[in-house]
Amino acid sequence: MPKSASNSKLKREFVYLRDSLKTVAFWKTIVLMIIGSLIISVAVNGLLIPNKFFDGGVNGLSLMVYYVFGAPSLGMIYFLMNIPIFLTGWRAMSLKYIFVSLLGVFIFSTALNLLHGVEISVADPIMVAVLAGVIKGFGTGIYLRQGGSFGGLDIVATVLKKKFSIPMGNTFIFINATTLIGAYLIYDLNIALYTGIFMFVDGTIIEKVQTGFSQRKAVFIVSDQPDLIAQQVMKRLDRGVTFIESTGGWSHKPQKMIYTVINMVELGRLKQMLFDIDADAFIAISNTAEVIGKRFLSWEDEGFTPLEKHAPSPPDKG
């Protein structure tokens, strides 16, 4: 990229960061990062460390170093491990993302040190893994939902994807597998297995907190009476519908397929309604990760302010 274009891009990102600092959403993100880091630190200091369990990502590698050498503090190790990551990846990320991530690393490292020595007494190691996963997953989910970051593996995965076309998922799998192998080599297979249980629960809770426990359902309906069904969905369920022009595979006749999004409570009512109107209707139901729009989450609920809605902004990653 020419130097003038690079400077222009950096200037735009600086202006965007400056304007973001004036928004409520930005400071809400920072507050949730502080709360989330304290919650995560309770799980790490209170459950993982006393039971010699590991974690995924950079925190897992930091725990590995901490268990082997015992010094310096876990918070300091985490902070030091992130320095080369930021030096390597800062060009690949937006200025705002780097700024937020640096704050996140400092906040999380401080929280780890502040809560050092906290211990939660749980005898059963499986219960330790489950409880630690629930606590850490909740703490992680609340800051990720708002767009926060603690740096670490996200930056590594992005750099590797851009420079070597390595899928980000492969990087996460490799690092987490390294952590599990390290748990086995440093301690034993039991610790590695308990860590695996913890990681699974942690990931599940993160997803639930990010997407919400009120799961939405995306519904596709193929029927000979699409107009009547659409009318009843809008009238009786108060949900919007979209017609998708399609063609029958057997009949080769053009038809209108209905697409709508509902919640779990409305699913039973929709099925009954379809049975009453057209028992031969074809219906496909799938889970949705997140829904933003009328009668669901608004952009403001997701932390976007009028500034961010109407002004084009550089992406957070790249």
The DSSP result for 37-90, as a single string, is HHHHHHHIIIIITTTT---SHHHHHHHHHHHHH--S-HHHHHHHHHHHHHHHHG
- The CA-CA-CA angle for residues 49, 111, 119, to 5°, reads 35
Which residue is listed with tokens 């010094």? 71
pLDDT tier, 6 (very low <50, low <70, confident <90, very high otherwise): low
Contacts of 70 (CB under 8 A, 6+ apart): none
Residues of the chain with CATH 3.30.70.120: 216-287
Residue 317 has pLDDT above 60, yes or no: no
- The CA-CA-CA angle for residues 129, 131, 137, to 5°, reads 95
pLDDT (0 to 100) of residue 220: 93
Q: Are 133 and 198 in contact (CB under 8 A)?
A: yes
pLDDT tier, 168 (very low <50, low <70, confident <90, very high otherwise): low
pLDDT above 70 covers a percentage of the chain that reads: 84
Please give the single-letter amino acid code of residue 77.
Answer: I
Convert the pLDDT of each residue in 73-110 to its tens digit. Answer: 898 999 998 888 888 777 767 777 788 888 888 999 99
pLDDT above 90 covers a percentage of the chain that reads: 19
pLDDT (mean) for 60-80: 88
Which residue is listed with tokens 């989450």? 297
E strand or H helix that includes residue 256? strand 254-263
CATH of domain 216-287: 3.30.70.120
Supply the pTM of this predicted model: 0.68
Pairwise pLDDT comparison (111 vs 20), residue with the higher score: 111
pLDDT tier, 311 (very low <50, low <70, confident <90, very high otherwise): very low
Helices (H), the chain: 3-20, 24-43, 57-69, 74-89, 95-114, 125-144, 153-164, 168-186, 189-211, 226-232, 264-277, 306-310
Convert the pLDDT of each residue in 125-146 to its tens digit. Answer: 999 999 999 999 888 888 877 7
pLDDT (0 to 100) of residue 316: 47
Q: Are 110 and 61 in contact (CB under 8 A)?
A: no
Q: Which of 135, 139, 166 is nearest to 150 (CA)?
A: 139
CB neighbours of residue 14 within 10 Å: 13
pLDDT (mean) for 159-185: 80
What gap in Å lies between CA 167 and CA 75, rounded to an integer?
29
Output phi, psi for 255, to 5 deg.
Answer: -150, 165
